[in-house]
Structure 1
Amino acid sequence: MNWSDQELIDGCKRRSAKSEELFFKKYYGYVMGISLSYAKDRDLAQEIVNDSFLKFFGSIESLTDHQAVKPWLRRITVNTAIDWYRKNKKYSQQQEINEQNEVFHEVHAISDMAYEDLVKLLHQLPEDHYLVFSLYEVEGYSHREIGEKMGITESSSRVYLARAKTRLRELVEMHLKEYAGR
């Protein structure tokens, strides 16, 4: 039987294990895709997926519009990735940075690259820079929102983005030189 989102959500609200399983299977790829865009490896992405579904099922009572399930699931997944970063940032070296020293340039060569190549280059960025880049450029968060979510200053968010773009430009240039040399 092919269940509609409304039927699955109603079943999940009743804590039906079958409905939860079917919902998980239906949206696993979607949530994993989002998770992989924030995690540097598949194991971490799987943790984010699992935590995201747990949060989703734990808060499903507040979902009133079954048509809003994908945006809601996306927000939960992005916030779960940010939570993971915040929880683990104490292990990475944090430093306050001076916004005035940073200048960034547009990367024009990216449009010539394959998606997979670009993702590999993005994953070479420092984790905090990568997260700010994704939140700003992909998700559309403001620097103020990013600062609040990540527990950093707004100016740090701006600098992390500038540094991410600068480093990404360098990585793209190196990649294109390697590609041209083949």
Structure 2
Amino acid sequence: MKTSLSTRFLSEDELVAECRLGNPRAQRVLYDRLSGKMLAVCKRYLRSTEDAEEVLMLGFVKVFRGLEQYRHEGSLTGWVRRIMTNTALSYLRSQRPQHVDIEESTACLTPVAAMAETDLAAADIMRMVEKLPNGYRKIFSMYAVEGYSHVEISNLLGISEGTSKSQFSKARAYLQRQLACCEVGLGQN
């Protein structure tokens, strides 16, 4: 009787050990287990689905090449998430300028459609976050979603802690204006 690979690797440690040996089926199982969550991480930093998928692939190459460095301190998912975040940040640094200021006149450009009558769903808010300019979205995602401190963000991005705080504050203000626009749109029903 042949057992499926995913049931054969019941523990995370066993799966990591097989991946370290270069077992392609084990690598596929690890990819299948984590790729959905990691694509969501990549999408928080990159607007384009194609770019997010490219970063996902680049990130998993780094994961498989760097598995010898994984020390089983903390979760494997957290370790992979950090690699994906760093890969997305490197990709963004190579593509576009770091910071963009938003003019006040753009405050109410795109209302969120298909909302509940009075409550915004988490998916609606994430869509708003995805529409933030790159610099704002990156710092907002790192601080509010991923849980990095402003000190960690400044070290990762090579910016000052004050810049990180300022960009986060501007992102939050932008999102608050978007939410206000949505509330006005809801009140018109």
Give your verdict on TM over 0.5.
Answer: yes
Structure 2 residue runs without a partner (length 5+): 102-117
Q: Is the 8 A contact 1:85 1:150 kept in 2?
A: no
Aligned residue in 2 for 1:83: 90
Q: Tell me the SS of whatever aligns to 1:112.
A: coil
Work out the CA distance in 1 between the residues paired with 2:40 and 2:171: 21
Runs of 4+ in 1 over 6 A off after TM superposition: none
Aligned pairs for 1:1-182 (under 5 A) are 1=4, 2=7, 3-4=9-10, 5-65=12-72, 68-89=75-96, 92=97, 94=99, 112-182=119-189
Q: Is the 8 A contact 2:99 2:135 kept in 1?
A: no
Q: Percent identity?
A: 25
Structure 1 residue runs without a partner (length 5+): 97-110
Letter in 2 for 1:122: V
Q: Is the 8 A contact 2:151 2:161 kept in 1?
A: yes
- Report the alpha carbon displacement of residue 140 of structure 1 after superposing the two structures with TM: 2.2
Structure 1 residues 66 and 57, CA, compared in 2 at 3 Å: closer, same or farther?
Answer: farther
Q: Tell me the SS of whatever aligns to 2:75.
A: helix
Deviations 1:73-95 (A, max 9, x none): 11111111221222223xx3757
- Report the alpha carbon displacement of residue 65 of structure 1 after superposing the two structures with TM: 2.1
Structure 1 residues 53 and 93, CA, compared in 2 at 3 Å: closer, same or farther?
Answer: closer
Letter in 2 for 1:10: A
- Report the alpha carbon displacement of residue 116 of structure 1 after superposing the two structures with TM: 1.9
- Structure (1 or 2) with the greater helix fraction: 1
Work out the CA distance in 2 between the residues paired with 1:131 and 1:24: 24
Which sits farther off after the overlay, 143-152 or 121-130?
Answer: 143-152
Structural RMSD (CA)? 2.2
Letter in 2 for 1:9: V
- Report the alpha carbon displacement of residue 165 of structure 1 after superposing the two structures with TM: 1.0
Deviations 1:147-174 (A, max 9, x none): 2211222221111111111111111111
Structure 1 residues 60 and 93, CA, compared in 2 at 3 Å: closer, same or farther?
Answer: closer
Which sits farther off after the overlay, 156-165 or 145-154?
Answer: 145-154
Letter in 2 for 1:11: E
Letter in 2 for 1:86: R
Work out the CA distance in 2 between the residues paired with 1:87 and 1:140: 24
Work out the CA distance in 1 between the residues paired with 2:73 and 2:17: 9
